Structure 1
Amino acid sequence: MIQCDSNTTSCQLPGMNCGQLYNLTVTAQDGVCDNSKAYLNLQSAPCSPTSVRASLLCSSNSVAVTWERASGAMSYRAVMVNEIHDFECRSSVTHCDIDDLLCGQTYNVSVFGLDDFCTSVESDRAYVRTAPCTPQDVVVDAQCEAGAIVVSWSPNPDAESFQVEAISNTGVRLACASNGTSCSIENLPCGYSYNVTVVSIRDGCESKPSPVVETASAPCVPRNPSASLDCVTNSAWLIWDDSAGALSYFALAEGVGGHTSNCTSVSSQCAVPDLKCGTLYTFHVTAANNYCTSNHSTTFQLETGPCALSEISAETQCHSDIILVSWEMTEDSPLYLVTAEDDEDKDNLLSCNSSTSYCEVRGARCGIEYSIIVSASSDKCSSLRSPPKKIRTAPCVPSDVTAVASCEEKGAVVSWAPSKVATSFHLTATARDGEVRTCNNSVNRCVLPDLHCGQLYSISVSASSENCTTQPSFPVDFRTAPCEPSGLEVDLQCETNSAILSWHPSEGSAQYFGFAQSEGGDMLRCNSTSTSCTIQGLECGAMYNFFIEASDGSCFSSSNSSVLAGAAPCPPATMRTKVQMIDGAPWVRTWWTPVDCSNVTYLVEIEGRIQNNPQTLMEVSSYWVERPYFEIPMPCSTAFNLTVRSRNSAGESEPSHVVTMSTVPCPPQNVTYTGNSQVAELSWEASVLATTYTVYKVSQAGRVEVCSGPELSCTVTDFDPDSTEVTASNAFGESLPTTDFTGPVLNRRRRDLRASEMIGSAEQNLGIPQITKIKVIGDSLYVKWNLVKHATEYRVIVHEKNAIQPTVVMTVDKDSYTVSDLKPRTSYCVKLSATNIISQSNFSTPVCRTTGPPE
């Protein structure tokens, strides 16, 4: 039993045994009565696992950890730790494996018991070493003469010994072992290749094999060599049996006087050239591979033909198929035979007979090296035989001339068939524009950089040797990369967010590629075989760099020229315009559908003819605004065309479609009457752009139409000049009334009526806002007004009293506004009108206030 006492609501139980389940009882004591209550079970921490063992699983370089079951443990955690790494495994039984360990390491292994809440203290530790590391830096040295290989590697202190294995190409396994850093495998048979690996060993555990190193033993000695003599060229043709393990062969001829000659071959035959006449030669053959050379074969001897004739001479002329051969005549030799043999084509044998000291060998081909021998009979190895004389004929005209485009060099790479006798080549390339390029080289290749673009070049090559130069080869045509297209024009299609690119054709182009690069580097493209294409997907408001590249299917032209253009917004697609009278003056109000693009502003432009007179033209425009409507005051009787433009940072659109309208006519002028008050005949001058004239009788109850039509006169009964007015109208509205009449009785101006009465029943969609408060604050005025139904904004105009031009014109979207920075102690008048997207009310009655001193 374990107990603890406390005056508070907690205490600690000391000395609990691990892995035990305790029944916990709490007793309340007051010294008289004790109250006990058992209310829970308490599980102590699990015990530490015992008998911990760690065993290396060598083949997988993993460790198997085992232990005895620990009281109270529900699961276990095994941990392997050293100074570099740590690993762990978890298990509900008494063993687990830890995989993927590092080689050559020593680890401390311990195990912990676990339950749902606690971990035991660490168990006693076990120790384990992982598998040794693979040998590094393995090197194989073939000891060819000794028939052995020596294998070496870097030191590995973690290993006790090393095992070397060499597997031949036939599957035979050879091995050696060492405690150091090298060992030898001896008595290797000839003609085998080997794959060599090394493993490290410690306590019977082997590392993974080292990477394979290839080697081979010496090839076997060539057998059964023999030779035949070529009397014409004084060469020996050797043959032998193939040798196991040989990659190449070397044949050597050693003359009695010390002269040597040799040949090399990858097959079992070769020709030893240029032997001296009348000399005894000893021949042998050796075989070789990448690592070793065999001992030489058995030797044999061969004697070349005797040298009875003295030195001969041979010469050939440029562009001739004749070889002139001459020699010193000998006694008792009535006939000489001259033979000329192609060193590479033994069937190409030429000859001539002569009884003198020279002979012409005909039919010699260009570009050939001939061996020439003069003998006194048809037996080429007879005693009367000259030493061979080498002569090269003139080079052939270069053939197989090809020109390949070099896009990086902006030119061409020209090549042709090689020549055995030519010492230099001269290339000429002539363009249609007159440019001539040349190249001199000793090999069968020339690079022509930076040729003129879009040109057809004619290319020919001539070959030279000593003092002989061939005719130029048959011309080969080559067309250079196309020139950069010129005349690039960009037609931006704002409706489709596209651009139509057009350009002038480029000589030699098979296809064109158009590009649009944004400021962020994104690239859009199009291609075409004609001189235009369309780039889709432009972003409205973005700037693009447009350029064109031409291609002939192999190379692209340069692209140094470009056009910078922005994907400007379209003009408004739908517009509406109307003319309305405000304060007795015509105002043109236009509104439109907003353009679907970011940060767009708009400009309204009007071109008009005042009084429809071509001599009195007017141009007026708004300022750039963000809202989709604007109104502009206009003179009466003015015909006009109205357009709207859009713009943003990418540019400005074309004008919208033209709206053609006119303002209301001016009031009729020079109204006169004849007659009396019972019946009077009124007449007036025509008002420009008017289609209808109307005469009204006006009273306090309103006005009544008397007559209306296109005529310039009207008969009125019960005529009273003071209550009569005349207006002019067209499809866009009615003019202000004329109230000045001239007649036999009266010649006066009747009183002015309010503007709202003058325009009669003209439609007003919005009410007039009324100013409810103006407060003077130093040199500022705070203005407040009542809201008008259907109004979205209010136009506030402030001007000095009796001044013509306003001081402040502002558009606000609330019911108050503070006008600041006015002149101190100055009288200002304020008026305002209500407005929305299609209409504007008349202005309110001006209210005036005098500003105070500056604050």
Structure 2
Amino acid sequence: MECASNTGVVSWEQGERVASYLVQASGPDGYQVYCSSPTTSCRLTSLHCGQAYNLTLTAQDSHCNSQNAFSQLQSVPCAPTSVQASLVCLSNSAAVTWQSASGALSYQAEGITVDGTHMVYCNSSVTHCNLEYLLCGETYNVSVLSMDHTCSSEESLSTQVHTAPCPPHTIDVEVNCSAGSMTVTWPANPDAESFHVRAETSGGAFLSCDSTSTSCSISGLPCGQSYSVIVTSVRGGCESQPSTAVNVTSAPCVPQGETANLDCVTNSVWVTWLQAKGAESYSVLAVERGGTNSSCSAADLHCNVPDLLCGATYTFHITAVNSFCRSAPGNAFQIQTAPCALTSITAHTDCYSSQITVSWQLNEVSSFYVATAEGHDQSVLICNSTGTSCDLSGAKCGMQYTIIISVSSDKCSSLRSPPLKMHTAPCAPQNITVNPVCDSNGMAAAWSPSLVAESYSLTASSRDGDVRTCRSTANNCTLLHLHCGQIYDVSITASAGNCTSLDSQQVTFYTVPCEPQNMIVEVQCDTGTATLSWVEGQGSLQYFTTAQTTDGHTLHCDTTSTSCSIDGLTCGMLYNFSALASDGTCNSSLTVPIQRGAVPCPPSTVRVRTHLMVDATLIRVYWNFVDCPDVTYLVQVTGDIQDNPESLMDVSSYWTDINYFEFPVPCSTSYSVTVFAQNSAGISRPSKAVTGVTVPCPPMNITFTGDSSSATVAWRSSALTTGYRVYQLSSDGRVPVCLTSNLSCEVSGLQASNVAVTAWNSAGESFASRVATGKKKWTCGL
């Protein structure tokens, strides 16, 4: 079947002496269609959908018809009808149904948003299926098609389904603490008819409200309750998925069970209470009748209200606080502080002393005085005297002390001084931590805060002599751009007034490692490997190397040594090689990239063939092709002409993509041949050199001394010659009469006119030189 056109294509084997063929297709609905052809195929058009056609093939000649051949053909299935889609609100899916279609073995339902941006499918062998994962607030066109083993029908007529509305994408909740209500707001949604708000506690109790606008209020909130607030959109009885929940808390309950204790030394009140539901913290306010007030706050169930006036009556209120509200004040209670009849006092201590000297004026009421100091940690120091001063011993560093003078051990009697506050010198900072700031090669130090310290000074000294300092009023400090790969000793002092603490215990810190130095990259063309080596960076424990192409492809190698091999280079590609060092926490900066190409290898096999010319040798250089893309080759020939170091030859070919090249080289020349390969990544190293010598130059200045009975033939030497041959020339050719490595030879029975001399070596034999009126004469081919 040709599915798109619902056309059947029938084919068969050619029979003998057949003029034409007739195909008849009969469907179960009584419909028949024919086609005829003189070849071995024909097309049945206009078939009814979903029919199993019986085929009859008849061969014909000019007189008779053959016996019939039979087969079957299934036409394209019919499209489904009566397609309906209804929304399943709870899952925001669509239930699709349809009437069965003739010829269908299975069905596929398709839903596409009207703007075409989202599409979903479901498949079924029955006449219904669910389209799931629909987008909220969208209209989908839904259609169904039928399928058999081969073809699909046309799509059915489409129907539409409108999905559940979308929930509000943001909601805001404002709690009215005094009214015990919350107001929830959200953006407008034209797809929704109304909105439902639900505020639920962790125990499952909930409050709700409904609205057709963009806000809704819930009143009657009990104190101390935490709520998860959600909003859903509603349309035609279908409710959206809930919005993202917002957690809020109603006003905390009023604190109960308050108690209070007066501390007459510090003139402060220690207040406690019971846990209030919904409270995150508490605030205690003490108000004196004249309007003076003092307060404290705490997340626990107690706090100390400080700095109260002597002989005053204070009214106390406790309020619970959370992120949204404050409770109403708790039950009010009153405390009256003790009077202060004695005059003011003074106190002094030296920076590193454990003693505080307290002074006062004498009072006629008493000749015996008690000095009491209470620390912020509730520790107490006491001394007494009949004079005007005494020394409090055992004072600790970093303490805030409150000191009073009284005439008896009853600190709350009227015969007491007003409280005096002072602090001792700060302690050396404790619990120092130093963490690296990797990206700027720095350190971030922190330590336990001191109650009395006004400032801190940090000093960091490296082993290479670098000294850095920083000052801070907080208990942390940061130093940046330290020397790489160094060990710094860190110490901290705290200062208050004129006093500075002793140095803290030293902490050792290792800075960011230095980047690798003097990196070298060597590329091995035969293995596609690059070997990187470098000088060890100070402070390094591990190294990471990369090779990156211009299109971003990256290869890696990690090592704890100072060299690494990166495999998998692609021949012909350019790479940027870089490395960085790591100490396990921080990485150094990257080295400056080194660009190297995965250049091709030189040819592994280079051969030379020679051919003798009149006064030179033609050398032909052959080599094997290199397995690498887009490679061209260059041949270089160097040598000494006439074996003379001052007569140098250096010639090169042009770059070529063939694997041979020819050069004429002078006679008596030693030569060296190398071949280079190149592509876009660069030029290879030279191939292994092939060396040799050319055929010697013909001997010069041939002389013939003597006569035909006996004569001496002599000549000048020819460079790079192994030996010489003297020939007798005749019309039949030449006959060697002397073979020597000397520069002369004794001959007999020869005339000067028929004498020739050649030079020879491993490359071959030179052309011959003859005696001719005192001049050399070359005889070609002799």
- TM interval, short-chain normalised: 0.7 to 0.9
| Equivalence for 1:793 | none
Q: Which amino acid aligns with 1:243?
A: A
- 2:737 counterpart (702, 706, 709): 706
How has the CA–CA distance of structure 1 residues 121 and 219 changed in structure 2, closer, same or farther, with 3 Å as cutoff? closer
Name the SS for the 2:373 alignment partner.
strand
**1:414 matched to 2:439:** no
Q: Residues 676-695 of structure 1: matches in 2 within 5 Å?
A: 677=708, 687-695=718-726
How has the CA–CA distance of structure 1 residues 449 and 221 changed in structure 2, closer, same or farther, with 3 Å as cutoff? closer
CA distance in 1, matches of 2:307, 2:719: 119
| Equivalence for 2:64 | none
Q: Residues 525-536 of structure 1: matches in 2 within 5 Å?
A: 525-536=556-567
Name the SS for the 2:440 alignment partner.
coil
Q: Which amino acid aligns with 1:214?
A: N
Q: Residues 173-184 of structure 1: matches in 2 within 5 Å?
A: 173-176=206-209
| Equivalence for 2:310 | 277
Superposition deviation, residue 608 in structure 1: 1.0
Name the SS for the 1:397 alignment partner.
coil
CA distance in 2, matches of 1:636, 1:294: 114
How has the CA–CA distance of structure 1 residues 117 and 158 changed in structure 2, closer, same or farther, with 3 Å as cutoff? closer
CA distance in 2, matches of 1:479, 1:227: 52
Structure of greater Rg: 1
Q: Which amino acid aligns with 2:452?
A: V
Superposition deviation, residue 134 in structure 1: 5.0
CA distance in 2, matches of 1:353, 1:365: 19
**1:225 matched to 2:258:** yes
- 1:593 counterpart (586, 608, 624): 624
How has the CA–CA distance of structure 1 residues 201 and 577 changed in structure 2, closer, same or farther, with 3 Å as cutoff? closer
Q: Residues 397-412 of structure 1: matches in 2 within 5 Å?
A: 397-412=428-443
CA distance in 2, matches of 1:500, 1:47: 67
Superposition deviation, residue 405 in structure 1: 2.9
Q: Which amino acid aligns with 1:244?
A: K
CA distance in 1, matches of 2:144, 2:664: 96
**1:443 matched to 2:474:** yes
Superposition deviation, residue 366 in structure 1: 1.7
Superposition deviation, residue 375 in structure 1: 1.9
Q: Percent identity?
A: 47
- 1:423 counterpart (433, 454, 469): 454
Please list the CA deviations of residues 100-142 of structure 1 after superposition, one character each: whole Å capped at 9, or x if unmatched. 778789999999999x99999999x9x9987676578655554
Please list the CA deviations of residues 423-446 of structure 1 after superposition, one character each: whole Å capped at 9, or x if unmatched. 222334445555543322222222
Name the SS for the 1:739 alignment partner.
strand
Superposition deviation, residue 376 in structure 1: 2.0
| Equivalence for 2:400 | 369
CA distance in 1, matches of 2:425, 2:337: 31
**Aligned length, in residue pairs:** 708
Contact 2:635 2:673 in 1 (8 A): no
| Equivalence for 2:652 | 622
Superposition deviation, residue 722 in structure 1: 4.1
**1:664 matched to 2:678:** no
| Equivalence for 2:765 | 734
- 2:426 counterpart (381, 395, 420): 395
How has the CA–CA distance of structure 1 residues 144 and 483 changed in structure 2, closer, same or farther, with 3 Å as cutoff? closer
Contact 2:701 2:775 in 1 (8 A): no
CA distance in 2, matches of 1:669, 1:385: 137
| Equivalence for 1:241 | 274
Q: Residues 180-579 of structure 1: matches in 2 within 5 Å?
A: 185-198=218-231, 206=239, 208-343=241-376, 345-346=377-378, 348-431=379-462, 434-559=465-590, 561=592, 563-579=594-610
Superposition deviation, residue 391 in structure 1: 0.8
How has the CA–CA distance of structure 1 residues 353 and 212 changed in structure 2, closer, same or farther, with 3 Å as cutoff? same
Contact 2:146 2:152 in 1 (8 A): no
CA distance in 2, matches of 1:219, 1:655: 87
How has the CA–CA distance of structure 1 residues 214 and 671 changed in structure 2, closer, same or farther, with 3 Å as cutoff? closer
CA distance in 2, matches of 1:423, 1:88: 71
Name the SS for the 1:408 alignment partner.
helix
Structure 1, 321-330 or 650-659: larger mean CA deviation = 650-659
How has the CA–CA distance of structure 1 residues 562 and 580 changed in structure 2, closer, same or farther, with 3 Å as cutoff? same
Q: Which amino acid aligns with 2:633?
A: T
Superposition deviation, residue 531 in structure 1: 4.5
Please list the CA deviations of residues 322-357 of structure 1 after superposition, one character each: whole Å capped at 9, or x if unmatched. 2221222222423222222221x22x3222222211
TM-score by length of 2: 0.74
Please list the CA deviations of residues 479-523 of structure 1 after superposition, one character each: whole Å capped at 9, or x if unmatched. 543445444444444444444444444444444445544444544
CA distance in 1, matches of 2:157, 2:673: 93
CA distance in 2, matches of 1:111, 1:708: 104
CA distance in 1, matches of 2:572, 2:94: 68
| Equivalence for 2:202 | 169
Contact 2:768 2:778 in 1 (8 A): no
Please list the CA deviations of residues 251-284 of structure 1 after superposition, one character each: whole Å capped at 9, or x if unmatched. 3333344333232222322222223333333333
Structure 1, 445-454 or 511-520: larger mean CA deviation = 511-520
Contact 1:193 1:215 in 2 (8 A): yes
Q: Which amino acid aligns with 2:371?
A: V
| Equivalence for 1:785 | none
Superposition deviation, residue 622 in structure 1: 3.0
Superposition deviation, residue 680 in structure 1: 5.6
Contact 1:24 1:42 in 2 (8 A): no
- 2:637 counterpart (605, 617, 625): 605
Name the SS for the 2:255 alignment partner.
coil
| Equivalence for 1:6 | none
Gaps spanning 5+ residues in structure 1: where? 1-20, 26-39, 742-746, 759-855
Contact 2:145 2:153 in 1 (8 A): no
Q: Which amino acid aligns with 1:385?
A: R
Name the SS for the 2:286 alignment partner.
strand
Superposition deviation, residue 316 in structure 1: 2.3
Q: Which amino acid aligns with 1:235?
A: S
Root mean square deviation, CA, Å:
5.0
Superposition deviation, residue 183 in structure 1: 5.8
Name the SS for the 2:637 alignment partner.
strand
CA distance in 1, matches of 2:154, 2:528: 69
Gaps spanning 5+ residues in structure 2: where? 1-28, 34-46, 51-77
Superposition deviation, residue 369 in structure 1: 1.0
CA distance in 1, matches of 2:383, 2:626: 98
Superposition deviation, residue 377 in structure 1: 2.2
Please list the CA deviations of residues 279-326 of structure 1 after superposition, one character each: whole Å capped at 9, or x if unmatched. 333333232333343333333333333323222222222232222212
Contact 1:578 1:732 in 2 (8 A): no
Contact 1:579 1:733 in 2 (8 A): no
Name the SS for the 2:653 alignment partner.
coil
Superposition deviation, residue 374 in structure 1: 1.9
